[in-house]
Structure 1
Amino acid sequence: MDPAAAERQALIERWAERHGVDAACRLAEAEELADAVEKEITPDNTVDTYAKSWRVWQRFCADARLPELEATRGSLVAFVAWMLREGQQNGKGYAPSSASTHLAAAVVGLRERGAKVSGDDQGAARAALEGLAVKLLQAGERRGRGQAVGGDIDGLRAIARACPDTLTGDRDKALTLTGFHYASRSQDPAGLLTGDVTLHPRGLVVAVLTGKTKHSVRNAKIRYADDPAICPVRAWTAYRTRLAAEHGDRWADPSTPAFVGIDRWGHVTGGMGPDSVTRAIKRISTRAGVPIAWTGHSLRIGLASVGRTKGKDGIAIADQGGWARHSRSMLGYMQRDDGWDDNASAGLT
């Protein structure tokens, strides 16, 4: 019996002593229900991250010849050092941000399996990670891909011009132009249904599901653009009109996916997933000749950066993109071009 199961059994026995066997059985059933609910509401990408990080922990334990279910200050610090030194399967070290993710997820995995992990021991490992990351910077070593490039207006124009006159081209244009205007992440358009996007006399209203654990809906308003060539509202309308004309009115049903996958022969394959959105954005930007290919996060970064450049209020940007007002992550997305024109000291003297 694994430690988690043994701990649950011991808990049930204590309940039986205090409340009787029948009550203990009902409490155990309630615990099983709670476990099932937690599993059901945990996002798939979070589950994938936990599974991947647990495999990293297993590789470390095998390499260091340490027991998997014994987390001590020493083993966690050694785990961090190993990840930065050689933790990847190709023998290279992880970027500090990736190591941080794996550390946090491995601790979750340890606790799920009944292992005791103290906050002090985890804190020691995190302090070691931060200190070693500084050492890497001081040594001139840069790891990781860094922040994705942000979308911009020139890129949107190039993308709109490069989209072919096909259903796929219309979908690509609508996906990019609407996504830019509500600061989409790859999972956002993948989660949209047709009924989540409604026409308004002044544009579109997109009901975006937000939050990783506590979900809410924000209604992002997208106005008609002055330039019809890159107007997200016109692009959305053209895409949906063509989809219904070529594949039937059933795609106008509010319960159907807002953005559909389309194969090379023009067949609709169902709704797009987050990974297919990411691949599509990269393919679309590459086809348009954008200097640095965009990623699934480029549209989100782009709204923050371009909005700031255009003088939009920070609170308005936050509300449109679903950030907390004065969000640090939003401020980090507000990229500056070269630091000369957009310079706090320019023109002061």
Structure 2
Amino acid sequence: MTTVTETAIADAVGPDGTPVLPAPATVGERQTLIERWAERHGVDAAHRLAEAEGLADAVAAEITPDNTLDTYAKSWRVWSRFCTAAGLPEREGSRGALVAFVSWMLREGRQNGTGYAPASASTHLAAAVVGLRERGVQVSGDDQAEARAALEGLAVKLLQAGERRGRGQAVGADLDGLRAVARACPDTLTGDRDKALVLTGFHYASRSQDPAGLLAGDVTLHPRGLVVAVLTGKTKHSVRNAKIGYAEDPEICPVRAYLAYRERLVAEHDLRWADPSTPAFVGIDRWGHVTGGMGPDSVTRAVKRISTRAGVPISWTGHSLRIGLAYTARKKGKDGIAIADQGGWARHSRSMLGYMQRDDGGDDNAAAGLT
């Protein structure tokens, strides 16, 4: 049974910018803690404290999102490739090794021999440190900070050299795009699903994992529209009941689109799809067969495909609906707190404010109208 110790990474920041959960201690650290507790409180109390630490580890593992675990696993593989290439031991996180790691990532770290974008390198650095500490390796905060400073400095050098890496931020969905999407959806179950996926996702600022995690029972009809119980997301703020009202324009009404899709799904396939425990959004193959629930990757691919079919100038990604709600609502004068609550952002979230400012740069600008 493992324990959570003072040497864990309680003050670390995860790849997505949120605090990471403490890492389990090594067997040696656990034994040291038990001995310390035994001296202070007696042997019986020490064993009960150790059992409580084991429970804490189990809870931490249970509530860590799958996408976070996937990121940690991927980043550890990147760290392992670096150690092999550099001839360094895998379980040493020294200052020099971490600085060399970020330099290698920017220079040649990707599988194809090219360098990572600085944002990706930053993610891998944070997650690799998590992986080292989980494996009992002591990584000092100062050494990690120096590696991050080196990464930021090298990223500036890349910009000064005229080299820009990464895809940049996703484009946000807008009302014109929603209308184009609605008109381009064919009169099929897949078309109805696509329309409902995009229109509802826009109105509750969905990430790609949000509709993938919804069950039919999470979307309920009320007199004024739908209530979507969004139970997935990166933070506690994403666990929310998002209210979606009927739109004045029936062509892009998310409520009508969702109800039409679900009615057609039940009518054309099995009545079992009316069960609240079935997925809200289903996968459909090219022959019209329902394949089960959609995953986050299939949602991302669907949004891109749907926007491309509609002729949207720049194809949307799985994050475009989320961005679009923020800046469209801001443009229409919605209160920032109301926007945060609808989209599951922390109030005054920096990412949300950034999404708003994409559209406000010309009109809502401190320099506008001064001369």
TM, length-normalised to structure 2: 0.86
Deviates more, 1:245-254 or 1:31-40: 31-40
1:75 to 79, 94, 97: 97
Q: Aligned partners of 1:78, 1:336: CA distance in 2, in Å?
A: 36
Cα deviations by residue, 1:245-271 (Å, 9 ceiling, x for unpaired): 112332122211111111122221111
Q: 2:216 corresponds to which residue?
A: 194
CA spacing shift, 1:33–1:48, aligned 2, 3 Å: same
Contact 1:100–1:129 (CA under 8 A) maintained in structure 2: yes
Please name the residue that 1:7 is paired with: 28
Is residue 249 from structure 1 mapped to residue 255 from structure 2 by the alignment? no
CA distance change for structure 1 residues 342 and 4 in 2, over 3 Å: closer, same or farther? closer
Are the counterparts in 1 of residues 181 and 195 from structure 2 also a CA contact under 8 Å?
yes
Q: 1:30 to 1:181 in 2, by over 3 A?
A: same
Deviation at 1:279, TM superposition (A): 0.8
Residue matched to 2:339: 317
Q: In the alignment, does 2:196 pair up with 1:167?
A: no
2:239 is paired with a residue whose SS is strand
| Matched ranges for 1:93-172 at <5 A | 93-172=115-194
Distance in 2 (CA, whole Å) between partners of 1:262 and 1:104 is: 37
Between the aligned partners of 2:236 and 2:70, the Cα distance in structure 1 is 19
Please report how far the alpha carbon of residue 210 of structure 1 lies from its aligned counterpart in structure 2 after TM superposition.
Answer: 5.1
State the one-letter code of the partner of 2:35: R
Deviation at 1:309, TM superposition (A): 2.0
The answer to which of 76-85 and 232-241 deviates more is 76-85
Q: How does 1:1-349 map to 2 (within 5 A)?
A: 5-8=26-29, 10-11=31-32, 14=35, 19-20=42-43, 30-209=52-231, 211-212=233-234, 214=236, 217-334=239-356, 336=358, 340=362, 343-349=365-371
1:313 is displaced (CA, Å) by 2.0
**What is the Cα deviation at residue 307 of structure 1?**
1.5
SS at match of 2:221: strand
- Provide the rounded CA distance (Å) in 2 between the counterparts of 1:336 and 1:4: 44
Provide the rounded CA distance (Å) in 1 between the counterparts of 2:366 and 2:34: 66
Provide TM-score, normalisation by structure 1: 0.91
- How far is the alpha carbon of 1:8 from its aligned partner? 4.9
Q: Cα–Cα, structure 1 residues 268 and 210, in superposed 2: closer, same or farther, change >3 Å?
A: closer
Residue-by-residue CA offset, 1:301-322 (whole Å, 9 max, x unaligned): 1111211222222222212111
Greater displacement, 27-36 / 255-264: 27-36
Moved more, 41-50 or 228-237: 41-50
Partner Cα separation in structure 2 for residue 146 and residue 74 of structure 1: 30
Change (3 A) 1:153 1:213: closer
The letter for the 1-side match of 2:28 is: E
Contact 1:80 1:129 in 2 (8 A): yes
Say if 1:87 and 1:94, in contact at 8 Å, map to a contact too: yes
Provide the C-alpha distance between the structure 2 equivalents of 1:326 and 1:138, rounded to a whole number of angstroms.
Answer: 32
RMSD over aligned Cα atoms: 2.4
SS at match of 1:323: coil
Shift of 1:134: 1.6
How far is the alpha carbon of 1:25 from its aligned partner? 6.5
Kept in 2: contact 1:15–1:23 (CA 8 A):
no
Runs of 4+ in 1 over 4 A off after TM superposition: 3-6, 15-20, 22-33, 213-216, 337-344
Once the two structures are TM-superposed, the CA of residue 336 in structure 1 deviates from its matched residue by 3.8
Q: Which has the higher contact order (CA 8 A, sep 6+)?
A: 1
3-state SS of paired residue (1:234): helix
Measure how far apart 1:51 and its partner are: 0.7
Pair 148,16 (structure 1): closer, same or farther in 2 beyond 3 Å? closer
Number of paired residues? 346
Q: Which ranges in structure 2 are unaligned for 5 or more consecutive residues?
A: 1-23
Deviation of 1:10 after TM superposition, in Å, equals 3.9
Q: By how many angstroms is 1:4 displaced?
A: 6.2
Q: Which amino acid aligns with 1:174?
A: A
Q: Any conservation in 1 of the 2:238–2:345 contact (CA below 8 Å)?
A: no
Residue type at the aligned position of 1:98:
S
Structure 2 CA distance for partners of 1:187 and 1:35, relative to 1, 3 Å: same
1:214 offset after TM fit, Å? 4.2
* Superposed displacement of residue 211, structure 1: 4.7
